[in-house]
Amino acid sequence: MNAESLEGRLLFAIPKKGRLYDKCISLLAGADIQFRRSNRLDVCVVLNHPIALVFLPAADIPSFVGKGDVDLGITGHDVILEAQMQGLVTQVLRLGFGKCSLQVQVPEVGSIKTVDDLAGKRVVSSFKNLSQGYFNQVDSRLQLTGANRTTIEYVGGSVEAACALGLADGIVDLVESGDTMRAAGLHAIATVLDTEAVLIKSNSPKRPDVASIIDVITTRIAGVVAANKYVVCQYNISRDKLAAATLITPGRKAPTISPLEEDNWVGVSSMIEKSKSASIMDDLMKAGAEDILIFNLNNCRV
């Protein structure tokens, strides 16, 4: 695939592997972005839109969007800060997946119990810039100077092995489930930041001709994200109890209220957060609602 075949197409960067890849492919399918990717090729054209997908390491995507010709990208919030690209890209949308925490970790068995105990010692991380910024603040607070300041060393992989193999006294690494951390005999003593996958675009668009398709794709992805986060709750309730019920289900904007044939009764339809649906149904029953139903969303526009 050459430059001519990409001309006039929106360039959309997707993580080529790792923890975000499968979720990104599902997100593209939900937004009806159809493509066929040949083996070993990291660029492919979308069949039903003027888009070319570019598969890149997640850590490189902020730079390609911020300083290169890539128009949109999906990567981690943590990666943007580590690459120091927050001044060159805009986080258009949080995507609700890839959630984890960048945490300071030390051996469970040992004398280091707090970040202050670790300050001035050796720390290893693949997030050197974020780790350095975090421990600069700790060192300044503790008035550590010169050779007494915390040493931050970069390791690209197997960060969790650094303590056991004598390279570090503590590490800074991403924690999702915590299984890897615990298997390495480590535990977290502080959180540097919480992160998740985000959709980003350049602060300085290179090609105004793709602005309209950027808006279309952003709206579609926002609809898929909302459909994954929300469900529709429908129920019947008497008008004298309606005010209390709508406080429980206010909807994203407002609930839809329809009169029923039975006097003094209405039907209510409202979007609610999927994770809270069980407790909301319980509260609605207590408020006097009947025929409470939950419907999953396949897609939406919000």
Mind listing the pLDDT tens digit for each residue in 141-183? 999 999 999 999 999 888 999 999 999 999 999 998 889 899 9
Whether the CB-CB separation of 203 and 89 falls below 8 Å is answered with yes
Distance CA 160, CA 191 (A): 16
Fold (topology level) of 100-195: D-Maltodextrin-Binding Protein; domain 2 (3.40.190)
Kindly list the domain boundaries of the chain, sorted by start residue.
3-99+197-206, 100-195, 230-296
**Token pair belonging to 132:** 């350095």
**What pLDDT was estimated at residue 166?**
93
Whether the CB-CB separation of 292 and 284 falls below 8 Å is answered with yes
* Contacts (Cβ under 8 Å, ≥6 apart) of 102: 78, 127, 130, 172, 173, 174, 175, 191, 192, 193, 194, 195
Task: Judge if 100-195 and 230-296 fold alike in CATH terms.
Answer: no
pTM: 0.85
Counting beta carbons within 10 angstroms of the beta carbon of residue 41, is it exposed (0 to 12), middle (13 to 18) or buried (19 or more)? exposed
Distance CA 51, CA 44 (A): 9
3-99+197-206 CATH choice from 1.10.3720.10, 3.40.190.10, 3.40.50.2300, 3.30.2010.10: 3.40.190.10
Distance CA 287, CA 245 (A): 6
61-70: pLDDT as tens digits = 999 999 999 9
Whether the CB-CB separation of 264 and 239 falls below 8 Å is answered with yes
Residue type, 147: A
**What pLDDT was estimated at residue 153?**
96
Fold (topology level) of 230-296: Alpha-Beta Plaits (3.30.70)
Task: Report residues of the chain scoring pLDDT below 70.
Answer: 1-5
